[in-house]
Structure 1
Amino acid sequence: MRNFQALAPQVAEIVVVDNSDDATQAESVRQLFAGREQVHYLWNQGNQGIAFALSAGIRFAEQLGADWVLTMDQDSVLPDHYVAVLTEDVRAYGDRAVSIGTPFVSASHRFADTRSGGPVKLLITSGNLIRVDAVKQAGYFRDEFFIDYVDFDLSLRLRKLGYLLIETHRISFNHQLGNATRKTLFGKAFSCTNYSPLRFYYMSRNRIVFFKENIWFDPALVFRCAADMCKETLKMLIGEEDRKKKVTAILSGIRDGLLGRMGKYNGRF
């Protein structure tokens, strides 16, 4: 509830979208927010994926009359005045700026796309203040991605429409990437996310699709993301468990991405 308590004073309405598969679990989540007029609870009748959940939340916010929506993950906590800072800073860029985020801190490491802020190529879901009409024009989040790279995919589709994505450095927030652990090799420290094999599957599959669709629009970004994919795989091989299953998942994801097999993966690793 820390993320909810931090967010509630900063926004007018909150839409909680629940992907729980179990009806009993969904009811317990609903009860957490019962009696809070500010909160609107939506249950997707099962796990439809983060992309579906995000689009459902934005569509509901649109019905409420929202012009801007702050998208959040359950594993992020915002500081005071976060929304006010983003709202103020995005105005400086005019109508072309439709999405603004900030650096985030995970496992004591600060992630930022620029040194001092300004236009960026990508923004993550968490802590992203985004204009509803621009998302609608771009086509919402893509259900077939299910999870992973849904935010990067939308970032590129917004940029292709001529819009700006902004990163402000006047504020930041805490965000957890997987079950991160610190490892050391030859005296050099690095972080492992310890994602499940299924998450590695989705990451590799959706990245391949992202690469195919954007290689000519922004080749430098595609090569950067491909290098990140290689680094993450190497760190997994060095510092994580279940390596065989995760390698199998990565290769399966690459195969399905090349073949265009999308949507929810129902197999096992």
Structure 2
Amino acid sequence: MPTIAAVTTAFHPDERLTAVVEAALKSCSRVVVVDNTPGDGPFLSDTLRDRDGVTVLRDGRNRGLAGALNAGLDELKSIAAPSSEAPDLVLFLDQDSVLTEDLVTGLAEHLTDPTVGIAAPAPWDEEQGRYYEPGTANGPDIAEREAVITSGMLVRRTVLTEVGPFRAEFFVDHVDNDFCLRVRTAGYRILRDKRYKLAHSLGQRNQHKLAGVSVASSRHPTWRLYWIARNGTVLIKEHRKDAPVWSRNTALYLVWWFALRTAIEAPRGPRAMAMLRGFRDGARGRTSRRYLPPGAEI
């Protein structure tokens, strides 16, 4: 078996974080927890500091998802430096994604193929008993993907070194898509194995009636709508030639999101403005810090 380390991100974590870390330690030699919760604490993540194999990073700042992932990777490098025993593979998790017993070892088998840079499970909605991504249930067990979500993905360390850090300017949304598209551009394959399910929360889902049709939506705070629009637009510009299908589907997704959020979610005006500013700034390559949440920095 290759050596595996994990980086877990957290934000105002609850007891699920402990379960995530305990599950990861069964297959990982080291788990680095990066807690983005702003303030002085103490917080639940501090209770994990005394566990063997666990390192907790918390400095009272919210550096965003990308910043937290990069901080975790930097910590792994500093831990490995004295002994020159860097892990072969790195597993990325969030605070509510608990691993099944054979998930990590199963994904690691795919990475024996040097053409594979990332192996990932299929996100699973336990409450509704279905895969999150449409078409997964009827698709092949192992599918090549242009992008997968960050939580649960297992990455070859040498690929991380070659491709570079996560994109800190993205803060939270599309961080996974940007990284995966760069991995693909570098010539590596990304595999999703649906035999390994990862229970994953996408937040509160609400049902709405739109033109007589029931529509489900995951309500995001207004500030996040800016980053969804802005970062998606940036990636469409950058990858419209090397990932045309992904770019087209993402453009359609953003149009749908804009229509849905402005039609059924109050306050409609501020939410529409946040996305419109995101589209504008993404097209111009700009970033507005006014849409960072309180206590956040990039």
| TM-score, structure 1 as length reference | 0.89
Q: Is the 8 A contact 2:230 2:281 kept in 1?
A: yes
Structure-2 separation of matches of 1:151 and 1:39: 24
| Residue of 265, 275, 280 corresponding to 1:240 | 265
By how many angstroms is 1:238 displaced?
Answer: 4.0
Structure-2 separation of matches of 1:40 and 1:267: 27
2:90 is paired with a residue whose SS is: strand
Structure-1 separation of matches of 2:149 and 2:257: 17
Distance 1:77 1:240, change over 3 A: farther
Equivalent position of 2:69 in the other structure: 54
Q: Is the 8 A contact 2:261 2:272 kept in 1?
A: no
* Residues 1-269 of structure 1 mapped to structure 2, 5 A cutoff: 1-2=15-16, 3-23=20-40, 25=41, 27-63=42-78, 64=80, 65-91=86-112, 94-106=113-125, 108=128, 109-112=130-133, 115-116=139-140, 117-185=142-210, 188-262=213-287, 264-265=289-290
Structure-2 separation of matches of 1:190 and 1:103: 23
Letter in 1 for 2:27: Q
Structure-1 separation of matches of 2:198 and 2:68: 22
By how many angstroms is 1:123 displaced?
Answer: 1.1
Structure-1 separation of matches of 2:96 and 2:288: 24
Farther off after superposition, 223-232 or 70-79? 70-79
2:199 is paired with a residue whose SS is: strand
Q: CA RMSD in A?
A: 2.2
Q: Deviations over 1:51-73 (max 9, x none)?
A: 11111112222343212111112
Q: Deviations over 1:107-166 (max 9, x none)?
A: 624134751122211111011011122112111101111111011001111111101111
By how many angstroms is 1:6 displaced?
Answer: 3.2
1:168 is paired with a residue whose SS is: strand
Q: Which runs of 5+ in 2 are unaligned?
A: 1-14, 81-85, 294-298
Q: Which runs of 5+ in 1 are unaligned?
A: none
1:105 is paired with a residue whose SS is: strand
Structure-1 separation of matches of 2:36 and 2:271: 24
Larger helix fraction of residues: 1
Percentage of pairs with the same residue = 29
Distance 1:264 1:80, change over 3 A: farther
Structure-2 separation of matches of 1:263 and 1:43: 26
